[in-house]
Amino acid sequence: MSLKTVLVPMGGADTKCDDTALCSALTFIGKMGGHVDALHVQQDPRNAAAFVGEGMTTAMIENVIEMAERDAAERTVKAEQLFNEVCEKKSIPLIETPEGLDSKSSSAWFFTRQGAQEDLIPEYGRMTDLIVACKKASEHKSDNEQVLNAAILETGRAVLVVNDALPADFGKRIAVIWNGSVKSSYAISKALPLLKKAEEVSLICAIDDFSEEISPEMALRYLAMHGIKAKSCNIKSGSGRSTAEALMAEATKFNADFIVMGAYTRGRLRRLLFGAVTGEVLDKCTLPVLMAH
């Protein structure tokens, strides 16, 4: 198990969000060793014609497509320029296909593909170990949500969601959210390289009114088999707070600087009754969160 290859989608529209995601990815490989691929998806300008109203002339449609072409070209230039500036500042070598990745080397590469984000992010994301995405978008919030949904739901890979740039000393105190689900166990297995480097790990067991008794023993044993000594605690929603709020409060109490959790682990009925924990964490949590679905 390793986290050596990292994919960063860069839209080119929200420079601050792109910068946060890219810097976080480079900080990550700085600690773990590995390679960052920065993927810029250039929207096909011809798709803009699908959104024009009825009754528009051919000249008007051509004008819309021309504007879309200029916008796409500008976004590409912004994304690549930012990538080159950040990598130069951090002295990251630009290598398309590094050989023999080890625990000390770091490299990065920028590439552009034309198409739809919801298609290309899963296509490239499935052949990487980790995807890094920033959630704190500004006016391009819908584009960012599309990136997050495609990364989390369509790749089968771990996704690191950051609110701010990842600090160099990240991962000292990691809170692991555990509810006994397949996706929670998958998240733990994907995060093992990070958990092994942590100074302290807390297993926070999330219980709701539909849960059977969740015992942390097997999860603690699994971690111990990998040389990770963790402590555990149980939390339950109530007193006017949601499960997500209770989880984040416990992580804060533990003084966590990083969270590991399964994404969208509840069925539809539980989400209706208790709310979507993943969505609330994505919306409100300021800590970096490694998710797996």
| Predicted confidence (pLDDT) per residue in 13-34, tens digit | 878 999 999 999 999 999 999 9
Same domain, 22 and 100: yes
Residue 96: pLDDT band (50, 70, 90) is: very high
Show the DSSP H helices in 116-206 as ranges: 117-125, 141-154, 182-190, 192-197
Each residue's pLDDT tens digit, 148-166: 999 999 999 999 999 999 9
Same domain, 135 and 190: no
Final residue belonging to a domain, choices 142, 162, 182 = 162
pLDDT at 74: 94
Domain membership of residue 203 (yes or no) is yes
Winning range, highest mean pLDDT, from 124-138, 163-177, 261-275 = 163-177
Same domain, 143 and 197: no
- Per the prediction, the chain carries an average pLDDT of 88
CA dist 273 and 237 (Å) reads 12
Same domain, 146 and 287: no
Final residue belonging to a domain, choices 162, 184, 210 = 162
Same domain, 143 and 194: no
Same domain, 158 and 255: no
pLDDT at 12: 93
Mutual orientation of helices 277-284 and 243-253 as an angle, nearest 10°? 50
Same domain, 139 and 222: no
Instruction: Give the total number of structural domains in the chain.
Output: 2
Predicted TM-score (pTM) of the model is 0.91
Residue 89 pLDDT > 80: yes
Lowest mean pLDDT among 32-46, 47-61, 240-254, 262-276: 262-276
Domain membership of residue 167 (yes or no) is no
Each residue's pLDDT tens digit, 210-221: 555 577 899 999
CA dist 167 and 78 (Å) reads 24
CA dist 92 and 97 (Å) reads 14
Same domain, 85 and 227: no
pLDDT at 43: 83
What CATH number did the domain enclosing 277 receive?
A: 3.40.50.620
Strand runs labelled E in the chain: 5-9, 34-42, 106-114, 130-134, 158-162, 173-178, 200-207, 230-236, 258-262, 289-292
Winning range, highest mean pLDDT, from 11-20, 98-107, 129-138, 192-201 = 192-201
> Which domain does 35 fall in, by range?
5-162
Same domain, 148 and 203: no
pLDDT at 141: 66
Lowest mean pLDDT among 131-145, 183-197, 264-278: 264-278
